[in-house]
Structure 1
Amino acid sequence: MGNNFYLTNAARFVLLVLAQVLVFNNLNFFGSINPMVYVLFLYWYPIKENRAYFLIMSFLLGLFIDLFSDTLALNAAATVTIAYLRPTIMRFCFGVNYEFQSFKLSNTTNVQQITFLALLILIHHIIFFSLEIFSLSNLLLILKKILTTGLATFIVCLLFRTLFSVRKN
């Protein structure tokens, strides 16, 4: 892990926190839908890097979003959970290819990448909104928020992914 690794991840971290806090938390599509683009940090984080460092960075990412959004520790809990489950999700999306030392996200198909992103968002939103509402009597409200915010997050993340991804030749 060189300085470039830390610099790139620090820049992603800061830019995604700023984008979430300054832009996306202030957008209210249809009155209550706020895309959660900071999930892209978990999508873009290098595959075979230090897992403990990744979990700590994920916790800090969620904590900073929580501090600026006044959401207690909901983002931190959801972010750490998907960071912990990320290897399992990757195994599901990429199969045995994930196990190889030379595996890179950019070398996979678009369908696999989109499935991976969709699962990260779905699991994050299930945890976030279940903890936010925390009542089975409001199950329909939880499902509505998961689907609407999840769809908005997915669309915005796909746009960001397209804008900032490295092109294959």
Structure 2
Amino acid sequence: MNKGLFINIIRFVLLVLVQVLVFNRLNFFGYINPMVYILFLYWYPIKENRPAFLGLSFLLGLSIDFFSDTMALHAAATVTIAYLRPAIMRFVFGINYEFQSFKLSNSTKAQQFTFLALLILVHHSVYFSLEFFSVANLLLIVKKVLAIGLASLILCLLFGSLFSVNKE
């Protein structure tokens, strides 16, 4: 088994465990529980097998749903951002993303931040739109997307700085 596959399996398992055992139990201000498992989709290698990535994204979301009792909401949101990830990357990194030698660690901090923020924004928009599924709740959806999205972004940035693979 190669090193990259092993690292991805460890990330997958640890992020599911941390999300389910720690962050699903946290409630900042009564309604904010951050979703840090999105980091798996952020860290996943750029040029890997796309169908396998979509399948892993579905399994990641389904794993969180299984322990959270959320009826495949996480699965829908993770598959959506996995599917849109190339378009988001093209938007953030431009033509550089197309090259074989492109690595996330070689991009600027602003680009990495924007990429992570967009992944979280799209994920939370899909998740909370499906959770409330009503235009009447639009303000509540926006409030949750922004509040929980900001908390998720801050914690993902902290996790990212603590566990970054490439220390240079």
Aligned residue pairs: how many? Answer: 168
- Determine the structure 2 residue equivalent to 1:108: 107
- Determine the structure 2 residue equivalent to 1:77: 76
Q: How does 1:17-56 map to 2 (within 5 A)?
A: 17-56=16-55
Distance 1:65 1:13 in 2: 11
The unaligned stretches of length 5 or more in structure 1 are: none
Deviation of the 1:167 alpha carbon: 4.4
Kindly provide the CA deviation profile for residues 72-93 of structure 1, in whole angstroms up to 9, marking residues without a partner as x.
0100000000000000000000
Q: 1:92 to 1:129 in 2, by over 3 A?
A: same
Distance 1:100 1:167 in 2: 20
Q: How does 1:14-163 map to 2 (within 5 A)?
A: 14-163=13-162
- Give the partner amino acid of 2:34: P
Query: Structure 1-normalised TM-score?
Result: 0.97
Query: Structure 2-normalised TM-score?
Result: 0.98
Q: 1:3 to 1:166 in 2, by over 3 A?
A: closer
The unaligned stretches of length 5 or more in structure 2 are: none
Percentage of identical aligned residues:
73
Kindly provide the CA deviation profile for residues 96-151 of structure 1, in whole angstroms up to 9, marking residues without a partner as x.
10000000000000000000000000000000000000010011100110011001
Deviation of the 1:166 alpha carbon: 3.5
- Give the partner amino acid of 1:47: I
Runs of 4+ with >3 A deviation = 166-169
1:61, 1:76 within 8 Å by CA — same for their partners in 2? yes
1:106, 1:166 within 8 Å by CA — same for their partners in 2? no
Distance 1:57 1:48 in 2: 15
